[in-house]
């Protein structure tokens, strides 16, 4: 008997007591073996009530992610099928890079409960407290020219936004290029890193950080003005495995659409979710500050800004502060 069989049996009874006798008959094992497995599950954080003459009842699950919980929820062909669930790592980006260099398949996913050196865009750090968020990196091997990789950043933002909206009743806006905001506060960030050889794209690592069940005390005070978690925004604790599953499903679907039809449909979806378009914006680019009104995306994924004199400038890399 594996502990998964026992867990499936208790879960199938949905909160009802199952006697030790019934378990041992159904799983064809001794009562002692049942007891040992129950102890193993409780040591992993499952809450199992044991009542004489009634039996066992599953009344709580560990708050950490488990492959057992996640895999049955996945509704994808390749995304997340090679799944590495880790406890503490410096950054999931580095884990995926190592796997990619060893030939890992597209869709390989690394998730960590905690990152000690999580990183964000523009060399910033990314706080990743234990068990509270989704800190994950996905490997893609897109057959596209290197200069088009920014399009995948925008695609990732749409996928996350659609995935979250399926589970959590909140309105999400995308700030260019890929910050997800709720009421102007950031709930998620995406970091795209790529590897190329002789100007040819080898792979892309899409790093996704989603503040799921963080509480106000998990944030440094100065960040509370700018950041929020899904739990704080919606008032409910969110099941992280379910959220990962719907995000991967949306991501895989949009990625297939992109490979088939190109950037145009992604661009329209991004524009529909954007909170940057048509609002006066200050952009800090590597070449200096640019101010104006972003009007649309260009074919590569750059942002077309209408300047004060009516001319247009396209920006490919910038930080927007507010």
Q: Which two tokens stand for residue 7?
A: 């867990």
The reply to whether 119 sits in an annotated binding site is yes
For the CB of residue 117, give the shortest distance to ligand BTN in the complex, in Å: 7
The answer to whether residue 124 forms part of the interface with ligand BTN (CB under 6 A) is yes
**How far apart are CB 284 and ligand BTN at their closest, in Å?**
14
Q: How far is the CB of 135 from ligand BTN (least distance, A)?
A: 4
- Binding piece for ligand BTN, criterion CB under 6 A, among 168-176, 184-192, 275-283, 314-322: 184-192
CB-neighbour burial class of residue 242 (10 A; exposed 0-12, middle 13-18, buried 19+)? middle
**Residues from 185 through 204 that contact ligand BTN (CB under 6 A):** 189-191
In the bound state with ligand BTN, the residue whose beta carbon lies nearer, of 126 and 203, is 126
Q: Pick the stretch among 121-129, 152-160, 218-226, 265-273 that binds ligand BTN (CB under 6 A).
A: 121-129
Residue nearest to ligand BTN (CB): 189
Mapped onto helix, strand or coil, the DSSP state of residue 20 is helix
Closest CA to 292 of 143, 200, 176: 176
Quick one: 237 exposed, middle or buried, by C-beta within 10 A (0-12, 13-18, 19+)? exposed
8 A C-beta contact, residue 188 and residue 180: yes
Shortest Å, Cβ 161 to ligand BTN: 14
Q: Rule CB under 6 A: say whether 115 interacts with ligand BTN.
A: yes
Task: With beta carbons less than 8 A apart as the criterion, state whether 70 and 83 touch.
Answer: yes
Tell me how far apart the alpha carbons of residues 261 and 312 are, in angstroms, rounded to a whole number.
27
Contact 227, 215 (CB under 8 A): no
Residue list, annotated binding site: 115, 119-121, 186
Query: Which residues in this chain contact ligand BTN in the complex, by CB under 6 A?
Result: 91-93, 115, 118-121, 124, 126, 128, 135-137, 179, 189-191, 207-209
């Amino acid at each position: 008997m594996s502990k998964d069989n026992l867990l499936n049996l208790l879960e199938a009874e949905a909160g009802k007591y199952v006697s030790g006798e019934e378990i041992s008959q159904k799983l064809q094992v001794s009562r002692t073996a049942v007891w040992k497995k129950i102890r193993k599950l409780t040591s992993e954080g499952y809450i199992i009530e044991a009542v004489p003459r009634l039996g066992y009842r599953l009344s709580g699950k560990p708050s950490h992610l488990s492959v057992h919980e996640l895999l049955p929820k996945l509704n994808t062909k390749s995304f997340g099928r090679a799944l590495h669930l880790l406890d503490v790592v410096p950054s999931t980006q580095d884990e995926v890079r190592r796997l990619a260099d060893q030939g890992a398949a597209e869709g390989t996913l690394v998730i960590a409960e905690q990152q000690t050196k999580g990183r964000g865009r523009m060399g910033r750090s990314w706080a990743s407290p234990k068990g509270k968020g989704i800190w994950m990196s996905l490997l893609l091997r897109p057959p596209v020219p290197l200069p088009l990789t920014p399009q995948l950043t925008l695609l990732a933002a749409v996928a996350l936004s659609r995935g979250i909206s399926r589970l959590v009743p909140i309105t999400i806006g995308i700030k260019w290029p890929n910050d997800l905001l709720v009421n102007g506060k950031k709930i998620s960030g995406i970091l795209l890193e790529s590897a190329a050889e002789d100007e040819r794209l080898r792979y892309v690592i899409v790093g996704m950080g989603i503040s799921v069940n963080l509480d106000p005390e998990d944030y440094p005070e100065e960040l509370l003005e700018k950041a929020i978690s899904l739990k704080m925004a919606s008032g409910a604790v969110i099941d992280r495995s379910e959220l990962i599953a719907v995000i991967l499903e949306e991501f895989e679907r949009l990625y297939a659409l992109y490979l088939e039809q190109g950037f145009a449909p992604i661009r329209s979806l991004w524009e529909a979710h954007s909170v940057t378009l048509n609002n006066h914006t200050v952009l800090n680019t590597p070449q200096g500050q640019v101010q104006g009104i972003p009007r649309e995306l260009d074919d590569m994924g750059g942002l077309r800004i209408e300047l004060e004199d009516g001319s247009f400038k396209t920006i490919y890399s910038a930080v927007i502060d507010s």
